[in-house]
Amino acid sequence: MLEVTNLCKSFESGFWRNKKVNAVDDISFQICEGEIFGLIGGSGCGKTTTSRMIMGFLKPDSGSIRYNGRELSTMKKNEWLKMRRDIQIVFQNPQMTFNPRSTVYNCCAEPIRLFHLAKSREEERSRVYEMLDSVGVSRDQSNKYPHEISGGQAQRLSIVRALSVNPKLLICDEPTSMLDVSVQAQVIALIKEKQMEKGISILYVSHDLDVIKAVCQRVAVMNNGKIVEMGSADEIFNRPKHSYTQQLMSSAI
Amino acid sequence: MKNNLNKVIDFLNRKNVMLFVGGACCTILILVTILAPILELHDPTEMNLSASFMAPCANYPFGTDNLGRCIYSRVIEGSRISLTTASIVVILSAAIGTVVGLIFGYSGGITDAVVMRIVDIFLAFPTIVFALAVSTVLGTGQKNLIIAICCIQWTRYARMARGEVVLLKNAEYIEAAKAMGNNKFQIIFKYLLPNVASKILILMSLDIGSIILYCASLSFLGLGAQPPSPDWGAMISDGKDYLRFSPWMSLFPGLSIAFSALSFNMLGDGLRDLIDPRMRESVNPE
């Protein structure tokens, strides 16, 4: 479904642009239909760069990203706009995901408006309330501003908001790292439940081993911009081959 | 009673005084502008040569000028000219500048760099000199005065809006908006504009004061409203020849320029402190 091959991205820095950091260095992986694929790695190993390139926010230096046979990395902006329905993303910081100047209701209604999913105001309203109900956020809270609701609520809303356009691929960029443990469990349960319900594919990016273990079927381990090991979750967690993976496993408490 | 006193002190400490005094003065000014026909004692353009150079008295509270026109009525009528000119200039230049700043700031790249250098060139000119040059090309008159000041003033808004957008455009929620399928213009007008609007409003209220001054100085030089319409700057200019024996001719229009510029500046300062607490000096360093 999503096929990433030989993807490279480097950033230049320094006064004369003489320092070069290979953020993502020649990585390849595939995500199949209905699969949750995990990408683990320490801070600064290129996980987020990868997800940003898949979303089209960054242009890769070389390599290709193919989604159902279509090349994403060279796609035009207006083609991307149509593509957004198929690929959605959940960000790390739940409160920063929403426009601070608009109410929770308007934030949730936005994808419905953008893709003309509702024919009337009433239908839009009922769909938004459905979204709120499905994650246990009370309807009175729809008139609040994003900073007035809790992080867990905001993150659950951002997940159902992303799913409201029925995407085929969801990218979760560390969706639980800003939340406390009890809320993490709720968010993970929500992601798993929605995945079962709709059969979407998920690219789950995280540095949290336990979360990845609980969610993913296949896992890739990244270090310094390279994928050092890839395999089923069972293989990676129980029989890690690469030294970095072993080190990562042993560093977990 | 004591409680009330504490409240007042607390209130003064929070430095909102500026906002309230400025707001009150501006309200008075706007009321005067609206109620001008009621407040005027005489027709502001009516000449009465037998009553020229009269010192302030009961009939003519601010005295009369060389042609026997009532200064008080002319000052009040002049507020209409000054305030409408200033607000048209501010609204026009804010609209142009904000749109330019938002679009080029968001797009970035070479066009942004080129446009911002043009803005820099405009900002480097002293406003009065540039406005004089523009007025010379376009000719005198109220409309050309407005165009001349707008030509310079929009750049301030463009800079401000661009600076804010460059800060905001990498925010996560802008990226989220992109991911959700908003196009460039939806992001600019739905996301960036509301987040920039408060800053622009503050700049607008701060600007009105200086624009009133610019208008007055340009019409003092004879570029703005033409006689007999009672413009403050032109009135000062008329009075300068008679300054030695009838100073009221220039004094009262001058005072009203000072008053209006001051009150709009206070309003702007107060608003800035209210909305942007980083700019506020700390008064209570507990």
SS3 content of chain A, % helix, strand, coil (to 5): 40, 25, 30
Domain boundaries defined on chain B:
70-279
Is there a contact between A93 and A177 (Cβ–Cβ < 8 Å)? no
Q: How far is CA B167 from the centre of its chain?
A: 27
Please determine, for residue B282, whether its predicted confidence score (pLDDT) is greater than 70.
no
- Are residues B175 and A84, on separate chains, in Cβ contact within 8 Å? no
Q: What CATH architecture applies to the domain B70-279?
A: Orthogonal Bundle (1.10)
Nearest-angstrom CA–CA distance, A30 and A37? 9
Amino acid identity at A80:
W
- Are residues B181 and A158, on separate chains, in Cβ contact within 8 Å? no
Using CA coordinates, name the residue in chain B closest to A146. B173
Element (H, E) at A154: helix A151-163
Q: How confident is the model at residue B175 (pLDDT cuts 50, 70, 90)?
A: confident
Domains of chain A and any CATH numbers? 2-98+169-251 (3.40.50.300)
Is there a contact between B284 and B10 (Cβ–Cβ < 8 Å)? no
- Are residues B194 and A101, on separate chains, in Cβ contact within 8 Å? yes
pLDDT of amino acid B283? 44
Nearest-angstrom CA–CA distance, A5 and A87? 18
3-state DSSP assignment of residue A221 = strand
- Are residues A84 and B194, on separate chains, in Cβ contact within 8 Å? no
Nearest-angstrom CA–CA distance, B121 and B119? 5
Q: Which of A92, A102, A110 is facing B180, going by the closest CB pair? A: A110
Using CA coordinates, name the residue in chain B closest to A112. B180
Using CA coordinates, name the residue in chain A closest to B187. A99
Residues in chain A, total: 253
pLDDT of amino acid B2? 65
Q: Which of B157, B185, B187 is nearest to B170 (CA)?
A: B187
Q: How confident is the model at residue B286 (pLDDT cuts 50, 70, 90)?
A: very low
Q: Taking all residues of chain B, what is their mean pLDDT, rounded to a whole number?
A: 86
Residues 6+ away with beta carbon under 8 Å from B255 = none
Structure tokens at A15: 């006064």
Helices (runs of H) and strands (runs of E) counted in chain A:
9, 10
Give which of A53, A58, A83, A97 to mutate to test B binding, by max B Cβ within 10 Å. A97
SS3 content of chain B, % helix, strand, coil (to 5): 75, 0, 25
In the sheet with A87-90, reading across from the earlier edge strand, the strands are A87-90, A169-173, A201-206, A36-41, A218-223, A226-232
Q: What is the pLDDT of residues B11-61, one digit of tens each?
A: 665 667 888 889 999 999 999 999 988 888 888 888 888 888 888 888 888
Residues of A in contact with B183 (CB under 8 A): 77-78, 81
Amino acid identity at B245:
F
Is there a contact between A208 and A47 (Cβ–Cβ < 8 Å)? no
Residues of A in contact with B191 (CB under 8 A): 99, 101
- Are residues A114 and B171, on separate chains, in Cβ contact within 8 Å? no
Residues of B in contact with A115 (CB under 8 A): 181
pLDDT of amino acid B7? 74
Is there a contact between A249 and A209 (Cβ–Cβ < 8 Å)? yes
- Most confident residue range from A62-76, A170-184, A232-246, B85-99: B85-99
Q: How far is CA A32 from the centre of its chain?
A: 16
Nearest-angstrom CA–CA distance, B228 and B230? 6
Q: Which of B139, B131, B157, B285 is nearest to B214 (CA)?
A: B131
In the sheet with A19-31, reading across from the earlier edge strand, the strands are A19-31, A2-13, A62-67, A70-71
Residues in chain B, total: 286
Q: How far is B158 from chain A (nearest CA, A)?
A: 22
Please determine, for residue B155, whether its predicted confidence score (pLDDT) is greater than 90.
yes
Token match 């409240």: residue?
B7
Q: What is the pLDDT of residues A32-80, one digit of tens each?
A: 988 999 999 888 888 888 988 998 888 899 989 999 888 888 888 888 8
Distances (CA, A) of B38 to A236, B41, B242, B252, B273: 87, 8, 29, 19, 36
Q: How confident is the model at residue B120 (pLDDT cuts 50, 70, 90)?
A: very high
3-state DSSP assignment of residue A105 = helix
| Burial bucket for residue B251 (CB in 10 Å: 0-12, 13-18, 19+) | middle
Q: Which of A97, A114, A158 is facing B181, going by the closest CB pair? A: A114
Q: How far is A201 from chain B (nearest CA, A)?
A: 17
Q: Which of A92, A93, A115 is facing B181, going by the closest CB pair? A: A115
Token match 């399928």: residue?
B181
pLDDT of amino acid B272? 80
Longest dimension (CA), chain A: 58
Is there a contact between B119 and B157 (Cβ–Cβ < 8 Å)? no
Q: Any idea what DSSP says for residue B258?
A: H
| Burial bucket for residue B87 (CB in 10 Å: 0-12, 13-18, 19+) | middle
Residues of A in contact with B181 (CB under 8 A): 81, 84-85, 111, 114-115, 165
For residue A247, the cross-strand partners are none
Radius of gyration of chain A (CA): 19
Amino acid identity at A171:
I
Percent of chain A surpassing pLDDT 70: 99
Amino acid identity at B242:
Y
pLDDT of amino acid B253? 93
Q: Taking all residues of chain A, what is their mean pLDDT, rounded to a whole number?
A: 88
Backbone angles phi, psi at B231, to 5 degrees: -95, 140
Q: How confident is the model at residue A253 (pLDDT cuts 50, 70, 90)?
A: low
- Are residues A88 and B172, on separate chains, in Cβ contact within 8 Å? no
Q: What is the pLDDT of residues B192-228, one digit of tens each?
A: 998 898 889 888 988 898 899 988 888 888 887 777 7
Is there a contact between B126 and B155 (Cβ–Cβ < 8 Å)? no
Kindly state whether A85 is in contact with chain B, defined as any CB-CB distance less than 8 angstroms: yes
pTM of the model: 0.81
- Are residues B173 and A85, on separate chains, in Cβ contact within 8 Å? no
Other Cβ atoms less than 10 A from the Cβ of B157: the count is 27
**ipTM of predicted complex:** 0.83
Is there a contact between B138 and B148 (Cβ–Cβ < 8 Å)? yes
Please determine, for residue A236, whether its predicted confidence score (pLDDT) is greater than 80.
yes
